[in-house]
Amino acid sequence: MLIQLILLLLAPAVLSVYLFERFKGERLSADYRIALLVIFTFIINMIVYAAIWLRGWDTIYWSLGSASTMTSVSFCLKYMALSLVFAVIIPYVLSVIKIGKRK
Number of domains in the chain: 1
Q: Is residue 88 part of a domain?
A: yes
Q: What is the pLDDT of residues 71-82, one digit of tens each?
A: 567 777 777 888
Query: Is residue 101, in this structure, part of any structural domain at all?
Result: no
Q: Does residue 37 lie in a domain region?
A: yes
Is the torsion defined by CA of 40, 46, 50, 51 positive or negative?
positive
pTM higher than 0.75: no
Structural contact between residues 83 and 44, judged by C-beta atoms closer than 8 angstroms: yes
Q: Is residue 26 part of a domain?
A: yes
The predicted-structure confidence for 7-28, as pLDDT tens digits, reads as follows: 777 888 999 999 999 988 888 8
- Domain hosting 49: range is 2-96
102 is a domain residue:
no
State the average pLDDT for the chain. 78
- Rounded distance between C-alpha atoms, residue 41 and residue 36, angstroms: 8
